[in-house]
Amino acid sequence: MNDVKKVVLAYSGGLDTSVILKWLQDTYQCEVVTFTADIGQGEELEPARAKAEKFGIRQIYIDDLREEFVRDFVFPMFRANAIYEGEYLLGTSIARPLIAKRQIEIARETGADAVSHGATGKGNDQVRFELGYYALEPGIKVIAPWREWDLTSREKLLAYAESHGIPVEMKHKTGGSPYSMDANLLHISYEGKVLEDPAREPEEDMWRWTVSPEAAPDQAEYLDLEFERGDAVALNGRRLSPAQVLEALNKLGGKHGIGRLDLVENRYVGMKSRGCYETPGGTILLKAHRAIESITLDREVAHLKDDLMPRYASLIYTGYWWSPERRALQTLIDDTQAHVNGWVRVKLYKGNVMVVGRDSKTDSLFDANISTFEDDKGAYQQADAAGFIRLNALRMRIAARLRRK
């Protein structure tokens, strides 16, 4: 294993990646570079630096990627209205290609010949990270400790940490959260422990970002979102950066109990997995984006997008963000957004997001003179519909006549 001279580790500073750091040093006898990404997980990241320094790490990267995450990954995905298996807004999935990209960049900057991650051999993240690595740096060596070592349980990890002088916070020693959690600016996820029984309702104290709908305010709240080329650029008349938009929507959505999801999903590796998610800002954003598209997109373009969306969402879920097919779909999707400009008003109330208004002064295809129930002064010739219907019914009329014979 001494063919590896330097490895870039995706490092959170938690128990798993701290053990991995030491394991890499001992097993591969190589230099380790740590990389910690700030994508809005809401945790203090400087302790990760202190831990890395304790291990003698000389090159430590702690990068604020929040704006890049929302601008270049979350927003392009929301232009497609992407949802996996009808419900999941892909909060974990969309973060992995960014982390992989930055890891490869750091490997190039530091002359590293390998990268490493803390994903297990049972999950989707190993696929997402590694497909990204190979797409961006085909010859990179990938080290996935969970597929190599014999530290197959929490007890073994703690024992390894103790025997190697790895600091373990009290929360880890006493059990900590009963869930495996992942957070970023788009969502927070919960898996494992009590959630491994799909019949059990999640405990109320599990949720971190949202109040229960029952505890949400009794007064509805209205929001105005402004869109330019399919992206949200302003909230209640105030222009904000991409990350600021999502952060503000998370707070407002969480206040009103919006964005909770309890899902049994199909992992790419073949098993079913139960996960719970909080995506308050994303839930609002998706509803508002579809609303502005409803008045600015041509009917067939909108329907084409809906046809392609499940394929696009699946590509993100399974880790193919950097694939040529996802890039090709993105080009099409982004082209459809050229005229998706205007504003949407939504009402937030006890777990619900309701669209109550939308308008585009420059790109609306809604013509009240044609669609009105009042006198349209000849704008639409209703008699034309008879021939339209007869032509569209022709194939069914022919078949019906044949069956009668």
38 carries an active-site annotation: no
Q: Which of left, alpha, beta for 264 (phi over 0: left; psi -120 to 50: alpha)?
A: beta
Query: Dihedral (C-alpha) 316, 319, 320, 321: value to the nearest 10 degrees?
Result: 60
CATH number of 183-297+340-359: 3.90.1260.10
What kind of architecture, by CATH, is found in domain 6-66+91-176? Answer: 3-Layer(aba) Sandwich (3.40)
Instruction: Determine the pLDDT at residue 184.
Output: 97
334 is annotated as an active-site residue: no
Phi/psi of residue 356, nearest 5 degrees: -120, -5
- Tell me: the pLDDT tens digits for 187-229? 999 999 899 999 999 999 999 999 999 999 999 999 999 999 9
Backbone angles phi, psi at 10, to 5 degrees: -70, 110
Taking the C-alpha atoms of residue 285 and residue 246, their distance in angstroms, rounded to an integer, is 8
Round to the nearest angstrom and report the end-to-end CA distance of the chain: 78
- Of the candidates 79, 102, 116, 125, the residue annotated as catalytic is 125
Residue 123 gets which letter from DSSP? Answer: S
Cβ–Cβ < 8 Å for 161, 64: no
CA of 333: how far to CAs of 60, 70, 98, 327, in Å?
Answer: 37, 17, 20, 10
Cβ 91 vs Cβ 279: under 8 Å: yes
Q: What is the pLDDT of residues 355-379, one digit of tens each?
A: 999 999 999 999 999 999 999 999 9
Catalytic option among 96, 102, 128, 326: 96
Q: Would you say the C-alpha torsion 153, 162, 48, 44 has a positive or negative sign?
A: positive
Instruction: Tell me what the mean pLDDT of segment 302-327 comes to.
Output: 98
CB proximity list for 271: less than 8 A, separation 6 or greater: 122
User: What percent of the chain is modeled with pLDDT above 90?
Assistant: 90
Given 180, 294, 323, 364, which residue is catalytic?
Answer: 180
Whole-number pLDDT of residue 168: 76
Task: Classify 280 as helix, strand or coil.
Answer: helix
Q: What is the mean pLDDT of the chain?
A: 95
The kind and range of the H/E element at 199 are none
Q: Predicted confidence band at 177 (pLDDT cuts at 50, 70, 90)?
A: low
Q: How far apart are CA 241 and CA 239, in angstroms?
A: 7
Annotation says 260 is catalytic: no
pLDDT reading at 123 higher than 80: yes
User: Predicted confidence band at 263 (pLDDT cuts at 50, 70, 90)?
Assistant: very high
Residues 344 and 227 sit within 8 Å (Cβ to Cβ): yes
What is the reported pTM? 0.95
pLDDT band at 165 (very low <50, low <70, confident <90, very high): confident
**Edge to edge, what strands does the sheet with 342-349 contain?**
238-239, 231-235, 221-228, 342-349, 352-359
H-run or E-run covering 346: strand 342-349
Cβ pair 251, 228 in contact under 8 A = no
pLDDT in tens, 54-85: 999 999 999 999 999 999 999 999 999 999 99
Fill in the DSSP letter of residue 91: T
Please indicate whether residue 96 is annotated as part of the active site. yes
CB 232 within 8 A of CB 285: yes
d(CA 319, CA 124): 8
Helix (H, G, I), strand (E, B) or coil at 45: coil
Q: At how many degrees (to 10) do helices 96-110 and 125-136 cross?
A: 40
pLDDT above 60: residue 1: no
Q: How many CA atoms lie within 13 A of 79 on its CB side?
A: 25
The confidence score (pLDDT) of residue 154 equals 77
Secondary structure class of 348 (helix, strand, coil): strand
Instruction: Give exposure, 204-221, as e/b (b: 16+ Cβ within 10 Å).
Output: eebbebbbeeeebeeeee
User: pLDDT tens across 30-49, in order?
Assistant: 999 999 999 999 888 988 99
245-261: average pLDDT: 98
pLDDT at 170 over 60: no
The answer to whether residues 10 and 145 touch, using CB atoms and an 8 Å cutoff, is no
pLDDT at 97 over 70: yes
pLDDT tens-digit readout, 334-346: 999 999 999 999 9
What six digits make up the tokens of 272?
């079913």
In this structure, of 167-171, 206-210, 276-280, 319-323, the range with the lowest mean pLDDT score is 167-171
What would the two tokens of residue 33 be?
Answer: 């570079």
